[in-house]
Structure 1
Amino acid sequence: MEAEISRSGAEPPESRFQRGTNQSGMRDFNERLVLSLVRRSGSLAKTDIARMTGLSAQTVSVIMRELEEEGLLLRGQPIRGKIGQPSVPMSLNPDGAYFLGLKIGRRSAELVLIDFVGAVRAMLQFSYRYPTPRETVDFVTRGMEQIRSTLTGRQDKRISGMGIAMPFELWNWAETAGAPSSVMDEWRHRDIRAEIQAKCPFPVYLQNDASSACGAELVFGRGTIPRDFIYFYLGAFAGGGVVLNGSLHVGPSGNAGALGSMPVPGPEGRPTQLIDIASIAILEKALNARGIEASHLWTSPQDWGDVGPDLDEWIAAAGTALAYAIVAASSVLDFEAAVIDGWMPEAVRSRLVASVREALAKIDVEGLHLPEVREGTVGRHARALGAASLPLSDRFLIGTGAPMKSA
């Protein structure tokens, strides 16, 4: 089991969430509001929640009692020493619900099971040269059987859904991924969500992979989570997401925050797209051109070893491209932060963020307020964890975005 992903942030929860309502017919919203507050704060007493939400003490008592009976909240030890009744903190029950997440990438697939607090209970990985629908469905089928076999009957019944994070229009990346067009074109004619839904007794959701990674930072990120931030995830190809007013903004087509397509200065000053400079596939291509086998970039994201000068050149170029992308985005929206994460070792991520900051200092940004550039806190598995957060957000939280869901 990996360490718990979710952490309580320093920002006061009452500044991040909407007010509750004591009117009838709003039970579901109020329950989500309470669970969202408890998730962000770690644990809260009834009096705290009543103060933060504006709900009556009686309404809060009813909600928390029902959530406890449903197995979603755990009662802590009473805190004495104050006037009146002792305060009883309530926290999320890790076994209250489980969620599966599937990341379909251009070089690998991941299947993860997380519990109600975001701790990883199981994770499987499948590496390939390029993805095919048949192999992907087979991987998911075998993986779900393997993971679910480790659960008790009660735990299995508490799987609340599966999320799928994958690049939209995957067939358009055949040439860049080095895959046969005929194979990649199969994705055009397959409804992968429907195929996987047919094998699941719980709902299946779908979202763009980079948006899902952004959602993981929003739901599971450590420390203070900004209300408005732009997010970059560098995998085989660069992508990203946008969070506005504490919610993931995906737009009507689900493709908002397609930052990989953002124009940036390229070689000799000619414009190109961010994806053509900051993607890890560009680093792989440079290594292969010098006869260096680069599969470890995908199979060992925790440690790339001594990559050499090609890594230095890629970090410098990617840092400059990301800096221009941040400046361009800041001329449209006022972001508090620019968050950078990816399928890479933490040391490489730190160097990349430093490169971005250095490049920003050389760009004319008169008239703009630049966001704080910071490292992501979820890490290389952000896309898979973001996928798992889709059913969590849809069923139990407020204000985290609207994934596409199976009927």
Structure 2
Amino acid sequence: MTIVPEGVEHDGMGGLRGSNLRGVRAHNERLVLSLLRSRGEMTKAELTRVTGLSAQTVSVIMRALEDDGLICRGQPLRGRIGQPSVPLGLAREGAFSLGLKVGHRSLDLVLVDFLGGIRSRVTERHHYPTPDAVVRFANSAVADILSQIGAEERARIAGLGIAMPFQIWDWWRTLGVPEEALIDWRERNIGAEIGAATGFPVYVQNDATAACGAELLFGHGHTPRDFLYFYVGYFIGGGIVLNGSLVPGRTGNAGAIGSMPVPDGRGGQAVLLDIASLSVLERTLGAADEAADRLWDTPSEWHFPQALVEAWADEAARAIAAASAAAAAVYDFEACLVDGWMPVRIRTLLVERVRVHLAEIPASGIRLPLIEAGTIGAHARSLGAASLPLSARFLLDLQAFASAGAS
């Protein structure tokens, strides 16, 4: 069964149609904004045809959205009979959003515009995250960013999203810290604390799921309707997209592929995160007396011994290929997208090696997915966090992006 928001119905051909009923204007505005988000500029005639709304209703909606500064006019389309059509698209400065990434090795706060462009960014590295440090960083970074923009831009900030690992307290062994160092995470609600301090509505989502949401909302080029997403960070994580919508799952932890058993390459088994995570590369670099902490600088390029990086990438790719094949036996995903905190050339190498190893796996009775690179890159988790308030306030299918509502 397909569930659609109130005031929106299916057109029988897999598309969404709007409703002209009184009292559902918010849904119809979201429908128009969502179409402009996914398809780019559209004319009134195109929106009327795609949504099934009356031309008068579309005109009223577009006029209201333009008056609110959420959409803007493009260049007239000439060369046709009659008056030239004027397409409208999302206004880059129509809305802004804050996104906080809580990572195992770093914190990142970004201000993004309505099109997903990063306007400002504040980062901080750490050995491991604590609630006190995260709240202190978030409040300071928000104040810093707000001081750099005008009152009108501040008024257009939709809220603050947080992308963070769930159940952080369970990872003390892997992080190599005392259990009590992370125990405060059990009781603290940093979303509520940051919301109270900043005054913004706050939305919280698993970090890898948020990265997947960024790919869905801000990704470039063709995005498959159904795909499994791998994000290679300190720990590898993932997300699931079905029929064009992010699937957070019952507890918001769907796509937790890091816990999936895979061959360890030596005749035994391990879980995916123990092979395909950057924490593995960090330990390898440290054992070779390399400055492993440089791994957590913004990864425009890595200056590490090529042989060490390539050996890690090949082992990671073998494990990701095994996980991709196993997932294909559960659901016939069109593709698996691979992204992560790494330079583009390393991501390209990783994707190529996954393709090679996947081709070696017997696939009787299943169709193996395509392996493609993600398009967001290192900042996918931060952008995913920032997408949560934008989706909650302006776009259809709130549950496809936010696993927790405003605090």
TM exceeding 0.5: yes
- Per-residue displacement from partner, 1:7-32 (whole Å, max 9, x unpaired)? xxxxxxx9875221222232112111
Q: What is the aligned partner in structure 1 of residue 259 from structure 2?
A: 261
The Cα of 1:253 is off from its aligned counterpart by 0.5
Equivalences for 1:314-353 in 2 at 5 Å? 314-353=312-351
**TM-score w.r.t. length of structure 1:** 0.94
Q: Mapping of 1:239-254 within 5 angstroms?
A: 239-254=237-252
Distance in 1 (alpha carbons) for counterparts of 2:101 and 2:79: 49
Residue pair 1:16, 1:227 contacting (<8 A) in 2 also: no
Find the counterpart in structure 1 of residue 406 from structure 2.
Answer: 406
Aligned equivalent of 1:53: 51
Secondary structure at the counterpart of residue 95 of structure 1 = coil
Whether the aligned pair in 1 keeps the contact of 2:139 and 2:198 (CA below 8 Å) is no
Contact 1:337 1:374 in 2 (8 A): yes
**Which aligned pairs between 1:193-208 and structure 2 lie closer than 5 A?**
193-208=191-206
- Does the 8 Å CA contact 2:159/2:389 hold for their aligned counterparts? yes
* Of 395-404 and 346-355, the range deviating more from structure 2: 395-404
Separation in structure 1 between the aligned mates of residue 324 and residue 75 of structure 2, nearest angstrom: 46
Number of residue pairs matched? 394
User: 2:96: which partner in 1?
Assistant: 98
CA distance in 2, matches of 1:89, 1:386: 28
Verify the 8 A CA contact 2:70 2:90 in the aligned structure 1: yes
Moved more, 327-336 or 73-82: 73-82
Secondary structure, counterpart of 1:405 in structure 2: coil
Alignment-derived partner of residue 361 in structure 1? 359
Output the amino acid matched with 2:277.
Answer: S
Q: Partner of 1:371 in structure 2? A: 369
For 2:152, what is the secondary structure of its paired residue? helix
Q: In structure 2, list runs of 5 or more residues that go unmatched.
A: 1-11
More divergent stretch after superposition (262-271 vs 328-337): 262-271
Distance 1:372 1:167 in 2: 27
Deviations 1:339-360 (A, max 9, x none): 0000011111000001100001
Q: Classify the secondary structure of the residue corresponding to 2:266.
A: helix
2:232 and 2:396 mapped to 1: Cα distance? 27
Helix, strand or coil: the match of 1:19?
strand
Identity of aligned residues (%): 52
1:267 shift after superposition: 4.5
Cα distance in 2, alignment partners of residues 253 and 315 from structure 1: 31
Partner Cα separation in structure 1 for residue 401 and residue 144 of structure 2: 30
Partner residue of 2:25? 27
Q: Is the 8 A contact 1:342 1:349 kept in 2?
A: yes
SS at 1:269 equivalent: coil
Q: Deviations over 1:54-83 (max 9, x none)?
A: 111111111111101111011233333323
Matches within 5 A, 1:87-236: 87-236=85-234
Matched, 1:297 2:295: yes
> Quick one: which of 60, 63, 81 aligns to 1:62?
60
Amino acid of the residue matched to residue 203 of structure 1? P
Instruction: Write out per-residue CA displacement over residues 263-304 of structure 1, whole angstroms, 9 at most, x where no aligned residue.
Output: 111142222110010000001111212332211111142211
AA at the equivalent of 1:86: P
Q: TM-score, normalised by structure 2?
A: 0.94
> For residues 353 and 14 of structure 2, what CA distance do their matches in structure 1 show?
31
Q: Any idea what SS the aligned residue of 2:16 has?
A: coil
Q: CA deviation at 1:245?
A: 0.8
Matched position secondary structure for 1:347: helix
2:9 equivalent in structure 1: none
